[in-house]
Amino acid sequence: MIKNTTDSHEKLEKSIQNNSASNIPNRRSCGTMDLHRELLDQSERYARKRDEIESMTIELMSGTRMLTQREVVKIPVVVHVVWNTEEQNISDTQVKSQIDVLNRDFRALNSDKAKVPPQWRNLVSDARIEFYLAQKDPNGNPTSGITRTHTTKTSFSYEGLDQPVKSKAAGGADPWPSDRYLNIWVCQLAGGLLGYAQFPGGPPQTDGVVILHTAFGTVGTVEKPKNPFNLGRTATHEIGHWLNLYHIWGDDNRACSGSDEVNDTPNQAGSNTGKPKYPHISCNNEPNGDMFMNYMDYVDDDTMVMFTQEQVARIDACLEGPRSSFVSGQ
């Protein structure tokens, strides 16, 4: 299991600076591991639950515990648009464009998977998950699957259990039941952050994914000049975390000793950003180098294009265990 140690990625307040003129960060930044470490520090229950989930995952992936065969899982999504300016109140069309991206990426139907080098093409895997905007709210009433909340807060950050975008009382929007819906909050994030997710096992009142509005979907506010995060891959990355995937480099401060707990992703020293040239060698992983085109790295949207077989095995274990309500509820 990845330990609660200091990482080179600093806290949100010290993270990559935002380009204030366009609300477009200069490079990818994900707050999931910082949030994870804060929750480990603040909640013994979370720490115990994470240990239980990782033990179960190891048993399922090693074959010591039988994994139930499943069909395609269809996950209902509610998107909470929390806006301060009119620009942040993104359109239904922008929301729907993100759902389309997720359904291509998680089914390995994205045409840009052709960018995967030949050495790894046999590892590209269909996660057998599809997403749709919820059609009924928690009370059984018809819904568009989109909520809209006008807030006086100009941006949102987080501090462990305190995540104001997820609370109506704090200026955000309350979640729908997290065992029945994937909650996604779209808002203006502070500190140049593109998004963050909560791993399985955390408090239900904060379970879900948060995405910067200029990195959500493929139309609307993402359509800004030189925006490298305009293809909806931030949500693909963060929902990967929600389904218990770690960053591909293991978050070990470039020590080459960390792990994402899957065997078919090469060991790599740290995150890759932008558009690396293949091969990019680190941690003595030649000749093929880093699998920087993986959704769980930090590259630009047009460069991340795949999940591997063992990443999908971890997703399978997650749907067998902590996210099993999304399977049994169908």
Residues belonging to the active site: 238
Q: Could you give the CA distance from residue 254 to residue 283 in angstroms, rounded to a whole number?
A: 9
Are the C-beta atoms of residues 100 and 67 closer than 8 Å to each other? no
Are the C-beta atoms of residues 314 and 261 closer than 8 Å to each other? yes
Q: Which residues contact 70 (CB under 8 A, 6 or more apart)?
A: 128, 316, 319, 327
Are the C-beta atoms of residues 268 and 291 closer than 8 Å to each other? yes
Residue 196: what are its φ and ψ, rounded to 5°?
-160, 160
> Which tokens sit at 232?
């909806």
Helices (H), 25-68: 32-42, 44-62
> Which tokens sit at 39?
């929750």
> Which tokens sit at 97?
């464009």
Question: Helix axis angle, 233-242 relative to 92-105, nearest 10°?
Answer: 60
Residue for token pair 């994870």: 36
**DSSP string for residues in 93-127:** HHHHHHHHHHHHHTTT--GGGGGS-GGGGGG----
Residue 29 backbone class (left: φ over 0; alpha: ψ -120 to 50; beta: rest): beta
Q: Which helix or strand (DSSP H or E) is residue 179 part of?
A: none
Q: Could you give the CA distance from residue 64 to residue 180 in angstroms, rounded to a whole number?
A: 29
